[in-house]
A and B are shown apart, each in its own frame.
Chain A
Amino acid sequence: MFSRISYALRETWASFRRNLTLTAAAILTSAVSLLLVGTTFLIQRAFENLLVQWRGDVEMIVFVRSDASAEQIGLIDSVLRSSPTIIDVNKLLYLNKTESYEEAKRIFVGDPVTLSLLTPESIPTQFKVVPLSDDPQLVRSLSDQYRTLPGVEAVALAEDEFQVISTLSNFIRVVTLVMSLVLLAVAVGLIWNTIRTAMFARRREIEVMKLVGATNWFIRVPFMLEGLLQGLLGGVVSCGGLWALNSAWTNGVAGFKPGTGISSLVVPSSYLTSVMFILLGIGAVVGAVGSAIAATRFLDV
């Protein structure tokens, strides 16, 4: 058993060195495509921060002054519930101070200055409103009405604030996803080609191996390991790239004026780490698939 494993590892390494140029090309292509996959993940997550307060079809937020009395809050609530034909009262949601503060921590994740101005005591509470009607004019006229209620600090409409960003984020997500899928397919193809070339270079050896009774798996495994290694190395390179990209972005964003929204577009480092593991996983799969196809297809030499 040990001799088989050491054989496979030795052959993998030898073949790896023999085909350095093609190998480098395969690794770099998988790295670039994986980097794009990783960037897609990060962009999506960053936009989610920005849009977190509008999750679940929320179109309007009624902010309530932090010093509003319980009666005032009750009044606002009953006014909101008085238009059940326009507002989906079942989805009407009130966030108290603690909940609002938790949400603010995500919105201002990259903007510690603004966050430090807020405390769980001084933060406005909020009603999240999901309208039933598709008519923006109707919702807008309601918002004008709510603004005048006692205790209401402000009324925000999704249309004004984040409709554009939401559309933009969907567009970017689709584009990067499609591009990374295409590039991943290219990476599989390149690894396939590298392994095919490696097998062709050693067709004489493979012929002898088959004649003396080596099993197909014995012949295949070093080639499959080689492809796996290429995919994995591509994953490692892409992780480095993603880390550098994310650091540069996070540092750049910190320089923006607080409260512009851009500063929400950062991700926590724990999320970055899990994306990196995903990239390594995808890299390994890409390498294994490419080489497995080649190693099965070209064994009959």
Chain B
Amino acid sequence: MPCAGKLVAMIRLENVTKIYGSETVAVRDASFDIPKSQFVFLVGPSGSGKSTLLRLINRQEQPERGDVWVAGRNINDLPASRVPFLRRSMGNVFQDYKLLLNKTVFENVAFSLEVIGKPRHVIERQVPAVLDLVGLADKHGRFPEQLSGGEQQRVSIARAFVNRPLILLADEPTGNLDPTTSEGIMSLLDRINETGTTVVMATHDHRVVNSMRRRVIQMDHGVIVRDQERGVYE
């Protein structure tokens, strides 16, 4: 595998197997290294284990076998009390945005800083900056339901990125969006990737994968069947 060698990978999976219940194998013996600042697509049909891989990386799930390493640390032996601090180094973006409907754009983004105890003055500096980055500076007072799908996804990306995480995990971020809007979201993720943030995106959107030409890890029934630099969706 390229780039592995002596460099510490940002994310490393070693022979990871995740079983739901007693027999549903979601991920079987998965291994890969993702170096810092890489942009990686996880592709494959629904139920192939893409989302489970993401949930293993932010420790919403723990594997039955194998190890997951993030930034040089084996997160399987991480005590539960340290998990929140692991998550502060990652941003999460979802297909359904997961925005809080009773909060404005500004408040949604500020919320993620507030609950990790950032002081007011930091919030007032960082939130407008990130809203500017995602192109929503003029809509900071709107509520999510007053925004289009693409705009809502931008808010959720702003929320994921406002704390400048090392890693951004995106689960089907364009799944609910039309092709034009998706393009905008992808260029935003690309820009975030250029700041040095490692991006792992699960998707089955052929068009997006084919236009970006980044590393592609393809899953099928929980097994990695392809790992290719500058790949396309097949």
User: Which residues in A have some Cβ–Cβ distance to B below 8 Å?
Assistant: 2-4, 7, 204-205, 207-216, 218-219
Determine whether B19 belongs to the interface, using a CB cutoff of 8 Å to chain A. no
A248 CB, min distance to chain B CBs, angstroms: 47
Closest to B116 in A: A213
B8 within 8 A of A: no
Known A-B contacts A204-B100, A205-B100; the reply to A212 vs B117 at CB < 8 A is no
> Cβ of A213 and Cβ of B85 under 8 Å apart?
yes
Task: Give residues of chain B (67-98) contacting chain A, Cβ–Cβ below 8 Å.
Answer: 81, 84-88, 92, 98
The one of B84, B86, B98, B111 that contacts A216, using a Cβ cutoff of 8 Å: B84
With A3-B118, A214-B116 in contact, do A208 and B85 touch (Cβ < 8 Å)? no
Q: Given A210-B84, A218-B116, 7 other A-B contacts at CB below 8 A?
A: A7-B114, A209-B111, A212-B87, A213-B84, A214-B115, A216-B81, A218-B115
A211 touching B87, Cβ below 8 Å: yes
Complex: A172 Cα to B86 Cα, angstroms: 58
Residue in A closest to B88 when the chains form the complex, CB atoms: A213
Given contacts A212-B159, A213-B88, are A204 and B115 in contact (CB under 8 A)?
Answer: no
- The contact of A212 among B81, B88, B119, B120, by CB within 8 Å, is B88
With A212-B87, A215-B84 as known contacts, state yes or no: A207 contacts B118, CB within 8 Å.
Answer: no
Return the contact of A204 from the options B98, B114, B159 (Cβ within 8 A). Answer: B98
Report chain A residues within 8 Å CB of B81. 215-216
Q: How many A-B residue pairs have CB under 8 A?
A: 52
Cβ–Cβ < 8 Å partners of A214 in chain B? 84, 115-116
The reply to whether B118 and A212 contact each other, CB–CB distance below 8 Å, is no
Residues of chain B within 8 A (CB-CB) of A218 are 115-117
Please provide the chain B residues from 114 to 135 with a CB less than 8 Å away from any CB of chain A in the complex.
Answer: 114-120
Whether B38 is near chain A, meaning CB under 8 Å from some CB there, is no
Q: What are 15 A-to-B residue pairs whose CB atoms are below 8 Å?
A: A3-B117, A204-B98, A208-B98, A208-B111, A211-B58, A211-B98, A212-B87, A212-B163, A213-B84, A213-B86, A213-B87, A213-B88, A214-B116, A215-B84, A216-B84
Interface residues of B (CB under 8 A from A): 58, 81, 84-88, 92, 98, 100, 111-112, 114-120, 159, 163
* Residues in A whose Cβ lies below 8 Å from that of B111: 208-209, 212
Closest to A218 in B: B115
A218 to B113, CA, bound (A): 13
Q: Is B112 a contact of A212 with CB atoms below 8 Å?
A: yes
Which A residues are in CB contact (< 8 Å) with B98? Answer: 204, 207-208, 211
Contacts A212-B88, A212-B163; A4 near B117 (Cβ below 8 A): yes
Tell me if A's interface is mostly helix, strand, loop or mixed: helix
| Chain B residues whose C-beta falls within 8 Å of the C-beta of A213 in the assembled complex | 84-88, 115-116
Q: How close is A203's CB to chain B, nearest CB, in angstroms?
A: 11
The residue on A at minimum CB distance from B156 is: A208
In the complex, A211→B57 CA distance in Å?
A: 12
Central interface residue in A209, A212, A214, by most chain B CB within 10 Å: A212
Which residues of chain A are near B119, meaning CB under 8 Å?
2-3
A64 to B85, CA, bound (A): 81
Shortest Cβ distance from residue B163 to the other chain A in the assembled complex, whole angstroms? 7
Instruction: List B contacts of A204 (CB < 8 A).
Output: 98, 100
Q: How far is the CA of A204 from the CA of B156 in the complex (A)?
A: 14
A213 to B163 Cα, complex, angstroms: 11
B181 to chain A, nearest CB (A): 23
Bound Cα distance A7, B115 (Å): 8
Q: Say how far B43's CB is from chain A's closest CB, in angstroms.
A: 23
Alpha-carbon distance between A207 and B100 when the two chains are bound, in angstroms: 10
CB atoms of A3 and B114 under 8 A apart? yes
Enumerate chain B residues within 8 angstroms of A207, measured Cβ to Cβ: 98
Cα of A83 to Cα of B198 in the assembled complex, Å:
98
Give, as a whole number of angstroms, the nearest-CB distance from B180 to chain A: 28
List the 7 closest A-B pairs by CB distance, nearest first.
Answer: A213-B88, A213-B87, A214-B115, A212-B112, A213-B84, A215-B84, A209-B115
Residue of A nearest to B86 (CB): A213
Name which residue of chain B comes closest to A209, CB basis.
B115
B87 lies within 8 A of A210 (CB): yes
